[in-house]
Structure 1
Amino acid sequence: MATPIGNARDITLRALDTLAAADLILCEDTRVTSKLMRIHGLHRPLMPYHDHNAARVRPEILARLAAGAVIALVSDAGTPLVSDPGYKLVAEAVAAGIPVTTLPGASSVLAGLTLAALPTDRFLFAGFLPAKTTARRDALDELSATRASLVFLESAQRLAEMLADAAAVLGPRPAAVCREMTKLFEEVRRAPLDALARHYAEAGPPKGEVVVVIGPPAADAGPSAGDLDAALRAELAHAGPSAAAARVAAALGLPKRQVYARAMALKAEP
């Protein structure tokens, strides 16, 4: 049986029982997992399983599972398979008829969502955004009309740039930066996107792992076609279609691609 287990200081009793009974424990970094094992007095074989060796060692792991071994998959932090290695192993184990279960533990995504003070009835986890500004803004633009809270993981070093791009594309939506979820130095900062961008640009990168939660677009019916055209014509009077579309999209909470297409249509009118 394959069992993904979150590696956290608030590990469950069920997870500890499973680790104690496992024939093998797969981990991103054996040094990290060995500390967990020592704390709880556990002594089981550890084996690295990460993005760099997964393709090579997966056949061996699947063979051992097929032979009846109990194998646990542990992440360094958070929940395995959520932006962590393991998806292909679980998919191939399921395809081979090998039973797989999960032992839920700490999840930075869900912890951040519950502490952000933003709507939780509908949310979209979008992982990491692209590292480059143009690609990042394009990705945010695709998500801009999603009627749900948006949840991202982000590098502390890129946080200020990501927040600035989000503010430019999505406007001053309410948001929260959640740091070190479920850990000793847990911290949540709540403010509109533009204010958060200014704060981290001035304060510098925070320490630890970061989750960003952004509220959904306003619940009203949104601007009419006439409102959109009026706003675009005003911007097109002194700016090109791209710049005009960017400003109007941010102001009205509309996808930039949609607004740009309309700006080009208006520009082509006699």
Structure 2
Amino acid sequence: MNNHCSYLSCIHHHLLLLPLLLLLCLSVIPLCYSQNGYYITQPTLTQITPLNSTAFTITWQFPNSSFDQSDLIRIYISIFAFYNGYNSTWDTTNYTFTTNKTITSLTKNYDFVNAFYLVCFSSNSTITNVTQFVALSTCQLTRTCTRSNSSVCPKASFITVLPTQISSNSFIITVYLLNSLPYTLTSTQVQLINTNTYGTQTGTTYNTTYIMQSFLFSNQQPKTTYTINTIVNYTIFTTAIAETYNFTLTTSRSSILVCTSDRFIFGASIFAILLMKVF
């Protein structure tokens, strides 16, 4: 009996120690986490803002100091400028600087109006006397404003997606891609969300401005609203970019229904005329 009580007492004492052991573990884990360098983070490219027809500002943000322990941050910015129509590309000088988290933007001005720019932002964050580091690289496309109205800054895209040839049971989605800019088209997918089907590419045509890809959706329902999702993948200066476009369209009424309706209206008109003559 005494041995049994001693055994229960021992278990009881061990159970009392469990909360203390758990608390000790929780206090040790963050310390190891920090010592292993996991509190090194990196600045993030937040936005590129066109200012007028030739200038734009690149803005980035540093993480909160309570999470980020890095004390040496190198930022690298490369800007590729190209202008539709001149079919030329200018690789500008790279900008490299070391910051203690006080520099958060860079404004650049160029000669060409309403031009495209690919901005590549890289960083390298380290802690003194710690071998680990975190590096980040991202690219973003921008375009400056028009000359006539500096407040009008078009969407920075090579691509336009429009519905064409809408009938009662079919429609065509046409993807327009500027053909004089330095990118390589990887793939184009046009999906009908309602039925989870993909359009059939019917051909590719060209003019002086665009490459045009057409995708056909047939056997659809009349007077029905469909949601179209288009994904265009392309590569520019070894940077892979995916652009997504979503919109809705509504098919027209069936030609049979239109014909029947017209006949009904015509018949009603004749009937009304006959009644007028009778009375």
Fold agreement, TM-score > 0.5: no
TM-score by length of 1: 0.24
Higher relative contact order (CA 8 A, sep 6+): 1
Larger radius of gyration: 2
More helix by share: 1
More strand by share: 2
TM-score by length of 2: 0.23
